[in-house]
């Protein structure tokens, strides 16, 4: 006797059969529905940004567990961790000198744990590091972000150097996960802990983007004026949206694998 398929499995199967354009439409509609839900249930929308950083910390804790218990860093991109440490260090500096708050504490915790992960990959677990697969050229993202921050940055009353640093960490954060995605594309089979970590990054980026988008609607566009003038306000929002869409493909395959009862995530060649 054949087993009765669950409604969730049936919906997932129907989505898989849809053409790419329909999948994009469904993804956008789903994102809008989640944004509307968050707007209704979360009273203080600033909590979304705090939640985003908390989820990032949680994802980092998953990596720490992987490194300490399984004694392997296979599937992890050292370059992504180094980019993450770089933008966190710059953002922590900006937070300390510009607006010390709860984000400063969360960034400090995430930076310390990220530096520990880098140390483990570089030294203690070097033999399990997939250096040949971690082949993304990080200079192709760091240099453009640095150059862009020189020309497009906040127009607040802070000193110029701090404003440039603020812009640099925003731009770099948006694309810091690209080396990790490239590595996963190269190996195509992602073990559970790495998959959990990258999915947590996707959730964190979505919550961060949701914070900005909801604030934009709540203030009826006044948020853009508060951020300054010129291209900076638009690039802030664009950076938040870009980093969400960068991870959207992986999150889809992650959810698909979980619903299918698979312990590992299998990616097609062209997922990123």
User: Residue 155 has what pLDDT?
Assistant: 81
Question: How far is CA 151 from its chain centroid?
Answer: 25
SS3 category, 183: helix
Structure tokens at 263: 């312990």
Helix H or strand E encompassing 190: strand 189-190
Cα–Cα distance, 167 to 62 (Å, whole number): 29
In the 8-state DSSP scheme, what is residue 269?
T
Cα–Cα distance, 255 to 16 (Å, whole number): 12
3-state percent helix, strand, coil for the chain, nearest multiple of 5: 75, 0, 25
Residue 263, C-beta contacts closer than 8 angstroms, at least 6 positions apart:
192
* Residue listed under structure tokens 């009826």: 220
Phi, psi of 28 (to 5 degrees): -65, -45
Residue 75, C-beta contacts closer than 8 angstroms, at least 6 positions apart:
130, 183, 184, 187, 190, 191, 194
Is the full-model pTM beyond 0.85? no
Q: Select from 272, 250, 256, 248 the least CA-distant residue to 27.
A: 248
* pLDDT tens series, the chain, 272 aa: 445 556 656 666 666 666 666 666 666 666 667 667 676 677 666 777 788 888 888 889 889 998 999 899 999 999 999 999 999 999 999 888 877 777 788 889 889 999 999 999 999 999 999 999 999 999 999 999 999 999 998 887 789 999 999 999 999 998 999 999 999 989 888 888 889 999 999 888 888 888 877 777 777 666 666 666 778 888 888 888 888 888 888 888 888 787 777 767 777 655 55
User: Residue 24 to residues 156, 253, 269: CA-CA distances in angstroms?
Assistant: 37, 14, 19
């Amino acid at each position: 006797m054949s087993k009765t398929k669950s409604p969730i499995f049936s919906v997932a199967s129907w989505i898989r059969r849809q053409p790419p354009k329909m999948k994009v439409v469904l993804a956008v509609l789903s994102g809008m529905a989640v944004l509307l839900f968050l707007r209704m249930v979360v009273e203080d929308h600033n909590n979304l940004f705090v939640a985003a950083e908390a989820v990032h910390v949680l994802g980092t804790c998953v990596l720490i567990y992987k490194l300490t218990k399984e004694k392997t860093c296979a599937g992890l991109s050292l370059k992504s961790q180094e980019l993450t440490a770089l933008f966190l260090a710059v953002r922590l500096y900006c937070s300390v000198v510009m607006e010390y708050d709860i984000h400063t504490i969360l960034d400090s915790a995430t930076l310390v744990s990220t530096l520990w992960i880098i140390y483990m990959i570089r030294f203690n677990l070097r033999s399990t590091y997939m250096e040949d697969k971690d082949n993304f050229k990080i200079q192709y993202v760091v240099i453009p972000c640095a150059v862009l921050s020189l020309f497009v940055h906040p127009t607040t009353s802070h000193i110029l150097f701090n404003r440039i640093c603020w812009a640099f960490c925003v731009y770099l954060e948006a694309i810091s996960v690209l080396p990790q995605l490239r590595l996963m594309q190269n190996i195509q089979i992602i073990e559970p802990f790495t998959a959990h970590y990258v999915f947590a990054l996707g959730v964190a980026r979505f919550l961060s983007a949701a914070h900005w988008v909801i604030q934009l609607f709540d203030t009826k566009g006044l948020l853009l004026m508060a951020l300054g003038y010129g291209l900076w306000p638009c690039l802030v929002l664009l950076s938040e949206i870009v980093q969400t869409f960068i991870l959207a493909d992986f999150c889809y395959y992650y959810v698909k694998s979980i619903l299918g009862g698979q312990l590992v995530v299998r990616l097609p060649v062209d997922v990123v």
